[in-house]
């Protein structure tokens, strides 16, 4: 009996312990830029996401007046007649549209307009909300009244409100700016922002409104800043770079719709917004200055893209016509790092409160130009030649496939993107090992395991596309990341994509961090990114290589300041894997720590199971030789002092 049971146990745990012998000496330093974040406004990552503004369609930007669609997110209260009009006296030239509101005769009680926010509005007791709008009466009269600004549940129960006097004495625009202090938190995020007049007192009046705004407290209290819970989650990864402003969303469907830095800076009244590439209007409230301040707040450097002459709809600007776009890129870079004494773009930056240059080492020339490689040959050439002459210290990143086509000047940086299956990621952890070691370096700028179905990587969830990262996808990515760490002599940066996703309006799945109007849901892949980023070394230590076609992957680094050896292990299958580590150091601590993320193959953190899989810490026995068992579907970070 006993004999049989033991044989059965031996069969049930078939894995033979792998022995990993660690080298005594480092092979290369690890770049401080290795782990960071790729951002673009997709799935309301920016508007309705990281950017804290709570009102959707706040300024009627880029909509067609006199259409129902122009009223997106706005609703009439108590019979008010609403339409978006091209105002004869717009609040600014950048914001030509206004909301025209007419109070019909015969109404009593509050009559006005509500905004549903970005799929809800969180109302929290103790928070101060700043609400503002501009109004004008198109016809001057002796009318005097008041307007009530508030927050209410979608059932119409008031959560907080305040009233301010208004007058029709002039037809000029007047700013109303109030604060709201709710004393109770709303039970859900199904709430509305409301602006109303008294129906009886204002009977027959017509009022125009422009650029409404509602801000909760922001991250680090930055005016026009970031949503605290999302910003805090992103900061907890300690990213060292932030790729901005996209992604496809840089490009525009047409040349005119491209992202233009100068349309995103200065007062909100001077930002026209644009039709983004992901199916909704971008307010550009989250503009270049906001991005740069955000980079400083998180102590990360921008990897900033410039538009390089290609629109996603398929238009390439002819070589002879590139000059104004090259100049716009020069101005954009000068806004970030130029001298206010010699550059008007830099002087604009100084006038916005940042006379000192920001940090900028990397500029990406376009995005995914493997979609237009034939024109990238001249676009890359002309942009990079002109920009290098202006900015000799900046590293320019090419976005075509590596070495295809051959570009001149020869790129010293490439941005490489891959969306694949978990198995592909595990089996490509040696992707960069065979790359020639020369002056060309790589940015793994977008990667994610997104489907189990290799023949349908961009298919629907029914074909295997993940809605949220799973432990299977996250361990695949972690396996790949051990390869990025090993190859960090040539891979200088890497970022999962997409970063953020509003679950009520996804354009793409899976994503690193999901959220809704009330909460943030960090995925299993987020915890992988965080484990790698918070447990960096400054030197890579070679060790016995994993089997490229195997299922268990590791990398070993050293943090010299603390004399710690940090071992990252990804087990990409459902069988626990014993490993024996052999360390050649004179002194090795007898205990270390293990941070372990593990869960079932299909386990995901979702709005209904937000904390299903989170890293757990424990103390483990260590020594010059020690064993560790990597649980099924796990990512482990082992840390011990050894020298």
Ligand X SMILES: *[C@@H]1O[C@H](CO)[C@@H](O)[C@H](O)[C@H]1NC(C)=O
- The minimum distance between CB 4 and ligand X, in angstroms, equals 39
Phi, psi of 552 (to 5 degrees): -120, 130
Q: Which is nearer to ligand X, 319 or 456 (CB)?
A: 456
- The minimum distance between CB 193 and ligand X, in angstroms, equals 8
Give the residue closest to ligand X by C-beta. Answer: 114
For residue 167, how many other CB atoms are within 10 A of its CB?
15
Q: Does 463 bind ligand X (CB under 6 A)?
A: yes
Q: List CB contacts of 290: < 8 A, sequence separation 6 or more.
A: 51, 222, 224, 225, 226
Q: Which is nearer to ligand X, 427 or 451 (CB)?
A: 451
CB 418 within 8 A of CB 324: no
Measured CA to CA, the distance from residue 211 to residue 224 in angstroms comes to 14
- The minimum distance between CB 141 and ligand X, in angstroms, equals 26
Which listed range, 34-42, 230-238, 375-383, 450-458, lies at the site for ligand X (CB under 6 A)? 450-458
Which listed range, 22-30, 113-121, 426-434, 561-569, lies at the site for ligand X (CB under 6 A)? 113-121
Q: Does 116 bind ligand X (CB under 6 A)?
A: yes
Distances (CA, A) of 238 to 249, 258, 287, 385, 486: 24, 30, 22, 34, 20
Measured CA to CA, the distance from residue 177 to residue 164 in angstroms comes to 9
Site string for ligand X, 314-353 (x = CB under 6 A): --------------x-------------------------
Q: Is the peptide bond before 247 cis (omega within 30 degrees of 0)?
A: yes
Q: Which is nearer to ligand X, 458 or 609 (CB)?
A: 458
- Cα 621 to its chain centre, rounded Å, is 39
Q: Does 438 bind ligand X (CB under 6 A)?
A: yes
The interaxial angle of helices 288-297 and 323-337, nearest 10 deg, is: 40
- The minimum distance between CB 454 and ligand X, in angstroms, equals 8
DSSP secondary structure letter of residue 328: H
Which listed range, 256-264, 347-355, 493-501, 562-570, lies at the site for ligand X (CB under 6 A)? 256-264
Instruction: Figure out which of the listed residues 14, 389, 392, 436 binds ligand X, where binding follows CB under 6 A.
Output: 436
Q: Which is nearer to ligand X, 130 or 544 (CB)?
A: 130
Residues 22-81 that bind ligand X (CB under 6 A): 75, 77
Instruction: Figure out which of the listed residues 31, 65, 217, 272 binds ligand X, where binding follows CB under 6 A.
Output: 272
Residues 581-610 that bind ligand X (CB under 6 A): 593, 595
Tokens 């999901």 belong to which residue? 514
Distance separating the N- and C-terminal Cα atoms of the chain: 48
Q: Which is nearer to ligand X, 254 or 403 (CB)?
A: 403
Instruction: Figure out which of the listed residues 456, 489, 539, 601 binds ligand X, where binding follows CB under 6 A.
Output: 456
Least Cα distance to 576 among 21, 17, 22 occurs for 17
Q: Does 467 bind ligand X (CB under 6 A)?
A: no
Site string for ligand X, 205-224 (x = CB under 6 A): --------x---------x-
Q: Which is nearer to ligand X, 120 or 546 (CB)?
A: 120
Residues 616-635 that bind ligand X (CB under 6 A): 617
Q: Half-sphere exposure of residue 291, counting CA atoms within 13 Å on the CB side?
A: 30
Q: Which is nearer to ligand X, 38 or 414 (CB)?
A: 414
Q: Does 388 bind ligand X (CB under 6 A)?
A: no
Sign (positive or negative) of CA dihedral 264, 268, 270, 274: positive
Distances (CA, A) of 40 to 263, 309, 591, 594: 16, 19, 43, 34
The per-residue DSSP string of 159-218 comes to EEEEEEEEE-S-SS-EEEEEEE--SS--SSS-EEEEEEEETTTTTT-EEEEEEEEEE--B
Q: Does 287 bind ligand X (CB under 6 A)?
A: no
Q: Is the peptide bond before 237 cis (omega within 30 degrees of 0)?
A: no
Helix, strand, or coil here: 487? coil
Q: Which is nearer to ligand X, 59 or 583 (CB)?
A: 59
Tokens 């075509």 belong to which residue? 400
Residues 138-197 that bind ligand X (CB under 6 A): 154, 175, 177, 190, 192
Q: Does 130 bind ligand X (CB under 6 A)?
A: yes
CB 614 within 8 A of CB 471: no
- The minimum distance between CB 8 and ligand X, in angstroms, equals 33
Q: Does 90 bind ligand X (CB under 6 A)?
A: no
Interacting residue ranges for ligand X, rule: CB under 6 A:
75, 77, 114-116, 120, 130, 132, 154, 175, 177, 190, 192, 213, 223, 260, 262-263, 272, 328, 403, 410, 412, 436, 438-440, 453, 455-456, 459, 463-464, 593, 595, 617
């Amino acid at each position: 009996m006993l004999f049989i049971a033991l044989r059965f146990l031996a069969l049930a745990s078939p894995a033979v312990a792998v022995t990993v012998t660690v080298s005594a000496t480092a092979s290369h330093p690890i770049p401080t830029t290795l782990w960071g974040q790729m951002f673009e406004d997709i799935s309301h990552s920016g508007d309705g996401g990281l950017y804290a503004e709570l009102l959707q369609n706040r300024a009627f930007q880029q909509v067609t007046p006199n259409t129902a669609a122009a009223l997106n997110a706005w609703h009439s209260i108590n019979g008010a007649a609403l339409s978006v009009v091209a105002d004869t006296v717009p609040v600014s030239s950048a914001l030509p549209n206004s909301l025209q509101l007419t109070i019909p005769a015969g109404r009593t009680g509050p009559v006005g307009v509500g905004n549903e926010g970005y799929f809800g509005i969180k109302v929290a007791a103790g928070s101060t909300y700043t609400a503002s709008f501009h109004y004008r009466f198109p016809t001057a009269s002796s009318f005097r009244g008041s307007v009530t600004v508030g927050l209410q549940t979608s059932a119409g129960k008031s959560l907080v409100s305040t009233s301010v006097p208004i007058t029709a004495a002039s037809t000029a625009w007047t700013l109303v700016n109030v604060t709201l202090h709710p004393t109770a938190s709303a039970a859900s995020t199904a709430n509305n922002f409301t602006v109303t007049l008294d129906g009886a007192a204002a009977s027959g009046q017509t009022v125009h409104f422009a650029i409404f705004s509602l801000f909760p407290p922001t991250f680090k209290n930055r005016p026009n800043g970031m949503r605290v819970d999302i910003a805090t989650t992103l900061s907890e990864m300690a990213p060292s770079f932030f790729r901005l402003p996209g992604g496809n969303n840089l490009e525009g469907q047409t040349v005119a719709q491209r992202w233009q830095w100068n349309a995103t800076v200065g007062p909100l009244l001077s930002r026209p917004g644009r039709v983004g590439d992901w199916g909704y209007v971008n307010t550009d409230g989250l503009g270049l200055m906001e991005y740069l301040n955000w980079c400083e707040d998180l102590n990360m450097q921008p990897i900033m893209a410039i538009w390089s002459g290609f629109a996603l709809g398929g238009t390439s600007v002819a070589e002879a016509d590139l000059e104004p776009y090259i100049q716009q890129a020069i101005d954009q870079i000068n806004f970030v790092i130029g001298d206010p004494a010699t550059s008007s773009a830099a002087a604009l930056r100084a006038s916005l409160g940042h006379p000192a240059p920001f940090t900028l080492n990397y500029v990406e020339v376009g995005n995914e130009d493997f979609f237009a490689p034939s024109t990238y040959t001249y676009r890359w050439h002309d942009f990079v030649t002109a920009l290098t002459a202006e900015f000799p210290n900046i590293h320019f990143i090419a976005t075509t496939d590596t070495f295809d086509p051959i570009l001149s000047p020869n790129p010293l940086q490439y941005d490489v993107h891959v969306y694949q299956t978990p198995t592909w990621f595990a089996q490509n952890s040696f992707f960069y090992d065979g790359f020639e070691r020369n002056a060309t370096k790589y940015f793994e700028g977008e990667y994610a395991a997104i489907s189990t179905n290799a023949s349908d990587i961009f298919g629907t969830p029914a074909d295997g596309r993940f809605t949220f990262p799973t432990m299977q996808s996250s361990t695949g990515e972690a396996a790949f990341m051990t390869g990025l760490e090993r190859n960090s002599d040539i891979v200088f940066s890497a970022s999962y994509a997409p970063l953020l996703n509003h679950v009520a309006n996804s354009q793409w799945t899976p994503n690193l961090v999901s959220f809704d109007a009330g909460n943030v849901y960090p995925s299993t892949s987020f915890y992988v990114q965080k484990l790698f980023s918070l447990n960096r070394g400054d030197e890579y230590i070679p060790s016995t290589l994993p089997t490229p076609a195997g299922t268990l992957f590791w990398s070993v680094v050293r943090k010299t300041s603390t004399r710690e050896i940090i071992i990252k292990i990804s087990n990409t299958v459902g069988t626990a894997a014993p490993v024996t580590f052999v360390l050649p150091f004179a002194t090795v601590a007898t205990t270390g720590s293990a941070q372990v993320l593990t869960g079932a193959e299909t386990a995901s953190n979702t709005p209904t199971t937000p904390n299903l899989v989170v890293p757990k810490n424990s103390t483990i026995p260590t020594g010059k030789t020690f064993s560790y068992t990597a649980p099924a579907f796990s990512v482990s970070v082992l840390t011990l002092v050894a020298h």
